[in-house]
Amino acid sequence: MKSTIKGPAIFLAQFMGDTAPFDSLENICTWAASLGYTGVQIPTWESRLIDLEKAANSKTYCDELRGRVEACGVQITELSTHLQGQLVAVHPAYDRQFDTFAPAHLHGNHKGRTEWAVQTLKQAAQASRNLGLNAHATFSGSLIWHTVYPWPQRPPGLVEAAFSELASRWLPILRAFDEAGVDLCYEIHPNEDLHDGVTFERFLAATGHHPRCCILYDPSHFVLQQLDYLQYIDFYHEHIKMFHAKDAEFNPSGRSGVYGGYQSWIDRPGRFRSLGDGQVDFKGIFSKLAQYGFNGWAVLEWECCLKAPEQGAREGAPFIRDHIITVTEKAFDDFAGGTTDEALLRHIMGTDRE
């Protein structure tokens, strides 16, 4: 299947703030367009960008929202519920830290917070449909991340039970996305139970291989895990429906490695970088995605421990644009070809003389 990646686009979550041009929908979209971006990915927890409940219930509101964005020179690529998706499955050890992702009246209410998260994800499915989108970004949440390096050892059956429970929480949401005609793309990410290929496979199987269970591919998280992020595309390209272009580097030492020593990001061996400043082979990634016919958006996600976000965004648009491959519609050796028919094919094979 021949297709071309769309972009460049930018995820707005890390750029929103209280001063212009980062303080309103029109301001930030106009800013993104001025840098050369053609699309914006919208975090749904940011009320200055979208009223998710209204978007779920009003096609008119969505038409107006889309019009406001497009008048600025960009279009909406996808919506994101990373923070709300995290709350679908939270181990109690993380309750206090993740309470901040939920409305204040639900803080300390573990059950109520989970119910709110599930309902919010269902609203996101409807909002995506009303906006004419076909993919959505989220996190899976986690029930057994605290056992990722097991000591004491995990009791038999724990992993199977955890993924069965995780799937049971997500299946009603997946059904809502299926009804809306939207792929639900889990960002494969440390601290989520879906953090590599094996865990995605476990979850996919637990959902009965639900057709809307898909992947948001972000190579930076695989660099930090020392996972082969190019072969990952070979294995899972059929499930990859979204792409975050984010760079990273891993420089282990005799003092610290994958786990980072509880150090701040700037001191960790594995750290996120602005596009082009890290170790990710983006030529290889864009080639692999083009090879397998990925036609979604290449979306910059800025997370860098050194470079300012404005500079990262300014440099990111041309970086993505220069890596997008316009997929060819012809073979390079077509000039040497000729017409063919069944007799010629038989002659080349030698079967016409049998």
Q: Write down all domains in the chain, each with its CATH number in brackets.
A: 6-353 (3.20.20.150)
What local confidence, expressed as pLDDT, does residue 328 receive?
81
* Strand ranges in the chain using DSSP code E only, listed in sequence order: 6-11, 39-43, 75-81, 135-138, 183-187, 213-217, 240-245, 247-250, 270-273, 297-300
What local confidence, expressed as pLDDT, does residue 1 receive?
56
What local confidence, expressed as pLDDT, does residue 331 receive?
72
Q: Is 245 left (phi over 0), alpha (psi -120 to 50) or beta?
A: beta
Joined tokens for residue 111: 């059950």
Q: CB atoms < 10 A from the CB of 343, how many?
A: 9
* Strand ranges in 53-110 using DSSP code E only, listed in sequence order: 75-81
Q: Please, what is the end-to-end C-alpha distance for the chain in angstroms?
A: 37
| CB-neighbour burial class of residue 221 (10 A; exposed 0-12, middle 13-18, buried 19+) | buried
Nearest to 110 by CA among 127, 93, 123, 131: 93
Cis peptide bond upstream of 152, omega within 30: yes
What local confidence, expressed as pLDDT, does residue 149 receive?
94
**Backbone phi and psi for residue 286, each to the nearest 5 degrees, phi listed first:** -65, -35
- One digit per residue, the tens of pLDDT, for the chain of length 354 reads 578 999 999 999 999 999 999 999 999 999 999 999 999 999 999 999 999 999 999 999 999 999 999 999 999 999 999 999 999 999 999 999 999 999 999 999 999 999 999 999 999 999 999 999 999 999 999 999 999 999 999 999 999 999 999 999 999 999 999 999 999 999 999 999 999 999 999 999 999 999 999 999 999 999 999 999 999 999 999 999 999 999 999 999 999 999 999 999 999 999 999 999 999 999 999 999 999 999 999 999 999 999 999 999 999 999 999 999 999 887 776 666 777 788 888 888 888 887
pTM of the model: 0.94
What local confidence, expressed as pLDDT, does residue 336 receive?
64
As a dihedral over the C-alpha atoms of residue 102, residue 103, residue 108, residue 114, rounded to 10 degrees, the angle is -50
Contacts of 147 (CB under 8 A, 6+ apart): 154, 158
Q: What is the DSSP letter of 125?
A: H
* Beta pairing, strands 75-81 & 39-43: parallel
Longest CA–CA separation in the chain, Å: 84
